[in-house]
Structure 1
Amino acid sequence: MTNLLSVPRSVEWKETSITLLNQQLLPTAVEYIELQSIEDVWDAIVSLKVRGAPAIGITAAFGLALAAQSYEFETREEFETQLQKDRDYLASSRPTAVNLFWALDRLTTSIANVKSLNEAKTTLVHEAIRIQIEDEEVCYQIGDHALSLFSKHDRVMTICNAGSIATAYYGTALAPFHLSVERDIPLEVFACETRPVLQGSRLTAWELQQSGVNVTLITDSMAAHTIKTKGVNAIIVGADRIAANGDTANKIGTYGLALLAQAFDIPFYVAAPLSTFDTSIEDGSSIPIEERSPEEITHIHGQQIAPDGIHVYNPAFDVTPNELITAIITEKGILKDDFTSEIAALFS
């Protein structure tokens, strides 16, 4: 697999710690921090030092494996009881991204047949590493499928950061843009700033610049005008959870872009790995929507920009109904007809 990306990796396992790219400081500083405890991992997820559903899952998996390395129990029952407690603790960090729970549950089930507690510790580490390796390949495949939907010089809009630093590598919605540079298929990308935490301006714009993609930053409120005046051909976004019928939760503002795509009669694509699907829920009405601190809206870099005591509504995600989605791009191919039956077939 050709790899020309100059974007740093978001998370790496270091045997006794986890090295994490601190996404809070981008784009003005590229800083790596060492996570040495499960509490460090929980805080990194909650405070958005790591974000992006796949990267959260990978970091949580490493965090659970790291915690287990310090266990000194003599019985398997004690070991598994503490592992479940630590699993639940990490799972409490963020409620919407299903990859978090998928990765943690994959680790806890990976030790079902081990014969010793030392083997269990080793197995947990190996399973977390496998999750990361698999995610990089999955992202490459998603990018390959997604790129087939675009032509040279297409103009494509995106929101938030479903990129290399949100995954093991390459990303989901941004993967076709990175691959377009590798394959000399020039595309022009319009990145929404993504208020209130500015993942688009801080992360997507920076990441695509690093990769040599032609990217233009816009504010979220400029989306309709930009589609009309710049001739945007398509919109592509990532996902944090996809229901059994294809309803998709993604960063707040995604639903609005899907409505704009319908209004302008351009395709609206969702790019996500199979680990993002939650077939246990029928539709998007059952997806929990995280509400975050009012300060994310009332302050910018610690500077207050709103009146004292103002009421704030700060949902981190919204849900796009399946009828607004042109296609869902996965590592197994492109779903574009009856999402309910196609998704069911993937998991049968």
Structure 2
Amino acid sequence: MSPLWWDAEAHVLEMVDQTVLPETYRTVVIDSAQATFDAIKTMVVRGAPAIGLAGAYGLVLASKAALDLPLEAYVTHLHEAADMLVKARPTAVNLAWALAEQRQLLDRLVASAQDDDTDLAPMVIHAALLHHARWLHLDDIERCKAIGVHGQKLVPKQGAGILTHCNAGALATGGYGTALGVIRKAVELDPTIKVYADETRPRLQGATLTAWELARDEIDVTLIADTMSAWAMQQGKIDMVVVGADRIAANGDAANKIGTYLVALAAAAHQIPFYVAAPLSTIDFDCPNGEAIPIEERDGLEIAQIKGQWICPQTGVAFYNPAFDVTPNELISGIITERGVACPPFAKSLEKLKH
């Protein structure tokens, strides 16, 4: 199951509308860079790897709209579109990474044509950008499967209880999952594993997406409120925590959905291993630590309402709604990547995996 795919006939991007799951499964057609920006911003598509792919395809759509322009104007248009797209969600580094990949391809093609003193048609660049976006998509799936292989080796026992937060599954990636990729692979080998999914306020991705994905795959899943995770640990139900990430600093500090830090603190208090699963594209080696990670703040209505229904007074109340928090590296047992598991000290182990 993929959250997005390229329709080669219509030459548009299609996405699963994650804002209406699990009640309704519907797809939406994305036919422009602006529509891609809006879909990312409003969380029709979400999850760091998935929005990176959306950005890569979004630049293809920007190209499609500018094919009749002269080359110089066409290139300028693409860079302006990339500048817009990267601002849709500032915390997830995969969006900037995927757009940088596409920009570098664009610049290489232009430079090569200039060096050879040959004409370069926008259609040639367009075909290359589309090919590369599709390659990034397939590559993400393979990376996630490799993360699953490495991560399942960390499951501490037969029939383990594994807690996850938010959604780091097929819907958040190219179609397999990071944290849920670990869980999927582990369940292949041990169907008695029990998964506990935090509901993940305020957007409820754990309830609406993770629980839906796992139930659809007939994996044993129990939904709990965010406030229950520490008690579930104290009661011996949790043997391991595995979450995804939207950006990991060079020192191993990890930004993920708000509430992840609280889960990590509870896991540390109960001496339960806490793992972060993410591809190397999620690691920002230019970001020294968590303090340098930009944290997106979203509309307070996400806290005040659930599916459009007010759950608090409509006047006289202020809202604080950061979409992410940062888990300090000292609370993380390991970072599971497609190249293996990085262990503390992360500054050294992540750098080693990079090469």
Give TM-score, length-normalised by structure 2.
0.93
1:45 aligns with 2:43: no
Residue identity matched to 2:286:
S
Q: State which of 334, 348, 353 in structure 2 corresponds to 1:341.
A: 348
Amino acid at match of 2:89: R
Tell whether 2:315 aligns with 1:322.
no
Inter-partner Cα distance in structure 1 for 2:159 and 2:69 = 62
Please identify, of 286-295 and 61-70, the stretch whose mean Cα deviation from structure 2 is larger. Answer: 61-70
State the AA in 1 paired with 2:94.
Answer: N
Report the secondary structure of 1:93's partner residue. Answer: coil
**Counterpart position of 1:290:** 296
Contact 1:252 1:318 in 2 (8 A): yes
Residue identity (%): 45
Using a 3 Å threshold, how does the CA distance of structure 1 residues 143 and 28 change in structure 2: closer, same or farther? same
1:335/1:171 CA distance change after superposition, 3 Å: same
Task: Report if the CA contact (8 A) 1:96-1:288 is conserved.
Answer: yes
Runs of 4+ in 1 over 4 A off after TM superposition: none
1:103 corresponding residue in structure 2: 98
Query: Which residue is equivalent to 1:60?
Result: 55
Following the alignment from structure 2 to structure 1, what is the Cα–Cα distance between the partners of residues 218 and 323?
A: 29
Instruction: Measure, in 2, the Cα distance between the counterparts of 1:180 and 1:255.
Output: 24
State whether residues 98 and 241 of structure 1, in contact with CA within 8 Å, keep that contact through their aligned partners in structure 2. yes
| CA shift for structure 1 position 309 | 3.3
In structure 2, the partner of 1:4 is none
2: distance between equivalents of 1:54 and 1:96?
12
Query: What's the counterpart of residue 275 of structure 2?
Result: 269
1:176 shift after superposition = 1.9
Q: How does 1:145-224 map to 2 (within 5 A)?
A: 145-150=150-155, 151-224=157-230
Structure 1 window deviating more from structure 2 (126-135 vs 106-115): it is: 106-115
Q: 1:140-173 CA distances to partner (integer Å, 9 max, x unpaired)?
A: 0001111111132000111000001110121000
Say if 1:140 and 1:170, in contact at 8 Å, map to a contact too: yes
Range 226-235 or range 154-163, more displaced: 226-235
SS at match of 1:213: coil
Corresponding residue of 2:116 = none
Specify the alignment match of 1:229 in structure 2.
235
Structure 2 contact 148–186 (Cα < 8 Å) conserved = no
**SS, match of residue 107 in structure 2:** coil
Match 1:27 to one of 18, 22, 25: 22
Aligned residues: CA RMSD: 1.2
- Unaligned runs of 5+ residues in structure 1 are 1-7
SS of alignment partner, residue 111 of structure 1: helix
Q: What displacement does 1:184 show? A: 4.2
Distance in 1 (CA, whole Å) between partners of 2:255 and 2:175 is 22
Residue equivalent to 2:6? 13
Q: Is the 8 A contact 1:21 1:30 kept in 2?
A: yes
Contact in 1 for aligned 2:67/2:123 (Cα 8 Å): no
Structure 2 unaligned blocks of 5 or more: 114-119
